[in-house]
Amino acid sequence: MTSKDNSGLKDQKVKELNTADFVTPVKKHQDKQRVVHRKSKNRGAGKHGFSESNPGIFEKLLPIKKKVVHHEVFELMGQGELPLKEFRKTLLNFYPLVENFPKFMALNLAKTRCHKPGHEEAKQWLIANIAVEQNHAKWYRGWAEGFGISEEEITHVKPTPAMEAVVNYLWKTNEMSTVPVCFSATNVGIEWATGEWSKKVEAGVKSYLDKGLIDGNRKIMAWLKAHTNYDDKHPYEAMELVLGCAENETELNDSLEAAERSLEYYKIALDDCLK
């Protein structure tokens, strides 16, 4: 075998290794999600058939969700045209939301009671998904690292008041509100919009990579891929859990209002990223 052949084999092995390094953690995440979705289905989740084309009673949230999903920040990210300074500012300001997200869900988990309708399903769903969500902060830090944000910066980030308002609202809601209201504020209000804008931003990040503007480390796409490929069912499952746990129409209305407020705060935080 010639040295040229050896070089080709070596390059191929490096390529395979790099691909495996990236795929392994996301693949594990995907496998966990399949188990979660299968268990949800076995427990009867999905009876209302919520989906992108069938939001049911959550249809009233579409106007404010659209303002988040199609916000100028995400449009520019998706086109690969958001200046790096603003991109880094956005990544830093949103980190506390990502890092605290499984903690919000844990607060809701603590409220579940086995004798209440829908609570057993809610408990099992939260336990499974909290385990998955704990990976997201680590992957998000990898995304930030690729955009030149240091460990020191992201660890000690002080978000803007607008972003702090989102985090504080979710802390207060998950500490003080009922199980369906918490699901709606957190897993519907935040995850529904996030899953949609992540798809366009993934393409935009590839544009920054192609232009050589950022570091192409193997961790940079993990958080986005998790949200575009594997977490897209979360908000629809959460919608089912809201309806399964709400004990009356008042609680259901409170849940819708909580999701709407989360999205309103979400938009305000995005507006602030461009200032």
SS3 51: strand
- Name the DSSP letter for residue 245: H
Closest listed residue to residue 204, CA positions, set 94, 84, 27: 84
Beta bridge partners of 51: 54
Domain boundaries, the chain: 3-273
Burial class (CB in 10 A: 0-12, 13-18, 19+), 83: exposed
pTM for this model (two decimals): 0.83
Q: Mind listing the pLDDT tens digit of every residue in the chain (275 residues)?
A: 554 454 444 444 334 434 344 444 444 544 444 444 444 444 434 677 888 888 999 999 999 999 999 999 999 999 999 999 999 999 999 999 999 999 999 999 999 999 999 999 999 999 999 988 888 999 999 999 999 999 999 999 999 999 999 999 999 999 999 999 999 999 999 999 998 999 889 889 989 988 888 877 767 888 888 877 655 788 999 999 999 999 999 999 999 999 999 999 999 999 999 98
Hey, what CATH topology would domain 3-273 get? Answer: Heme Oxygenase; Chain A (1.20.910)
Task: Quote the pLDDT of residue 134.
Answer: 86
DSSP string, 188-227: ITTHHHHHHHHHHHHHHHHHHHHTT-S---TTTTHHHHII
Contact 50, 240 (CB under 8 A): yes
Instruction: Give dist(CA 66, CA 75) in Å, integer.
Output: 12
